[in-house]
Every structure is written in C-alpha cells, then in structure tokens.
C-alpha cells in the first residue's frame, strides 16, 4: 500500500474529486480525515472506520484550527493535505455581483490559504501538500472570471509555498483537473440547455473525446501524495485528457 499508516486530510471530501480521493487514499492504507460543510454518508464510508469525517467550513479559521488539532491528537502529525474545497459559479463580468464574488473568492482563495496556514504546525517533515486548481486558470472561458481568478491565485500560492516549505522537505504541488464528471458541473447556476451546449463545446476540444472521472483525478492525487513523486515540487499536474495541451 502506497500510503500505509499515513495521516491524510482532505477538504471538500463530501463529493466529487474530494470524495474519490478520500476513498482512494483509504484503500492505500491511509488514515483519512475528511472535511466538508456537510458530511455525506458516502464520505463517511470513504474514510472508513480507520478515519474520520469532520464537518466545518474552510472560510472559518476556527473550524480549520480545530480540524488539524483534532487530527493530530487522534492520529499524529499530518503527512498529506489535499486542499480541494471549492465553489464554481458562472456569471459575466458585468453581471457579477458582490455576493457571488465574495462567496467564490472566500471559499476558493481565503479557504485554501487558511487551510494551508492552519496545517503548517501539524505537518510532518517530508509531507505532501496538494492544491486543486482547474483548467480554468489556463483559458478564457466566458463567464468564469471569478472562478478562473481564484484558480490562478492558487497556482501562485503553490509556487510560493513550495519555496517556503522546502527547508522542511515538504512538497507542494497543484492538481489541475480538466472537464471532470462531478456534481459541481450541475451547480453552476446555468439552465440545462446551456450546460449541455457548453459541455459539448468542451468535449469537442478534448483529444480523448470524453470527460474525465473523479477516480482518474484521485489516481493523480495519489501519485502526488506518495513517495512515487518524491522529486516533484512546485508544479501543476494536469489531468485533462489533453484539453488545451495538444
């Protein structure tokens, strides 16, 4: 097992990529602590009896401090953190109100930054930190201005964190999913016909001619979490079927 007895924290673990990653890490022998605003039954099953599901909000520093203190008290120093919690809502620049802007920025940027900051005192030497970005930080997808800004900010955070944490032999990398079949796609706030049209447009640009699965992204997350990627640091691993790569 690639993560035998490793202590892993996954935010946004209740569905999609976070859920798939939590399950994969557990299968590989890790003691996984999942974190989400609402702990789903699927997430509890994914972390299993060896792990734990904790409810909280990444925009709350108090919740995050409690998460990592609780994790260390029960399991010990943290070996892997997957910073994955996010929201994506689409709106044109001119129609984006303050409420939407604040919600997306607070969760995706402030939440990720606070998660990393809260984790720092509890990370074991040689730990791996993985931050989920998105193919949106590489293209100009209409309506995605705020979401794209947040993912680009996270890419920069990964570079800085990789430099700062290198003296502790802690690696920090970005995991960049392309078009992935997760519940998030249906939560964009767009009419079904618009979603279908946008989905078809994206599919036409993917060399593999299909959307990816959360489990495929989880496999990439496992690589970044494990010793197999021991010399990978500060980079962004794209899992996108070749979208905007070829």
pLDDT, tens digit, 9 for 90 and up, residues 103-148 = 999 999 999 999 999 999 999 999 999 999 999 888 777 878 999 9
Q: Report the distance separating Cα 36 and Cα 43, nearest Å.
A: 9
- Judge whether residue 39 has pLDDT over 90: no
Contact 79, 6 (CB under 8 A): yes
Q: pTM (2 decimals)? A: 0.94
Confidence label for 91 from pLDDT (cuts 50, 70 and 90):
confident
Which pLDDT does position 244 carry in this prediction?
A: 77
- Residue 64's nearest CA partner among 116, 25, 106, 105 is 116
Which pLDDT does position 32 carry in this prediction?
A: 98
Give percent above pLDDT 70 in the chain: 94
Quick one: the chain helix, strand, coil %, rounded to 5? 50, 20, 30
Return the domain boundaries, the chain. 7-181+213-238
- 150-201 pLDDT tens trace: 999 999 999 999 999 999 999 999 999 998 987 666 656 566 666 777 778 8
- Judge whether residue 233 has pLDDT over 80: yes
Which residue bears the tokens 């016909």?
193
Which pLDDT does position 73 carry in this prediction?
A: 98
What architecture (CATH level 2) is domain 7-181+213-238? 3-Layer(aba) Sandwich (3.40)
Confidence label for 49 from pLDDT (cuts 50, 70 and 90):
very high
DSSP 123: E
Residue 28's CB is within 10 A of a number of other CB atoms, namely 17
Mean pLDDT of the chain: 93
Contact 237, 17 (CB under 8 A): no
- Residue 95's nearest CA partner among 137, 27, 142 is 142
């Amino acid at each position: 097992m690639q993560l035998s007895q490793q202590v892993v924290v996954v935010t946004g673990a209740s569905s999609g990529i976070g859920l798939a990653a939590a399950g994969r890490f557990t299968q590989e022998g890790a003691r996984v602590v999942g974190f989400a605003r609402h702990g789903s039954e699927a997430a509890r099953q994914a972390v299993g009896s060896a792990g734990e599901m904790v409810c909280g909000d990444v925009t709350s520093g108090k919740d995050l401090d409690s998460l990592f203190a609780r994790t260390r008290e029960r399991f010990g120093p943290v070996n892997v953190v997957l910073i994955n919690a996010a929201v994506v809502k689409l709106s044109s620049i001119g129609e984006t109100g303050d409420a939407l802007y604040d919600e997306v920025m607070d969760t995706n940027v402030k939440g990720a930054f606070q998660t990393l900051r809260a984790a720092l005192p509890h990370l074991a030497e040689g730990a791996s930190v993985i931050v989920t970005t998105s193919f949106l930080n590489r293209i100009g997808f209409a309506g995605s201005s705020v979401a794209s800004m947040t993912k680009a900010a996270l890419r920069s955070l990964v570079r800085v964190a990789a430099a700062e944490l290198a003296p502790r032999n802690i690696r920090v990398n970005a995991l960049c999913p392309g078009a992935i079949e997760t519940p998030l796609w249906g939560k964009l706030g767009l009419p079904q016909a618009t979603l279908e049209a946008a989905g078809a447009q994206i599919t036409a640009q993917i060399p593999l001619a299909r959307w990816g699965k959360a489990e495929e992204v989880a496999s990439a997350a496992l690589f970044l979490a494990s010793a197999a990627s021991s010399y990978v640091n500060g980079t962004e691993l794209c899992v996108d079927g070749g979208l905007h790569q070829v």
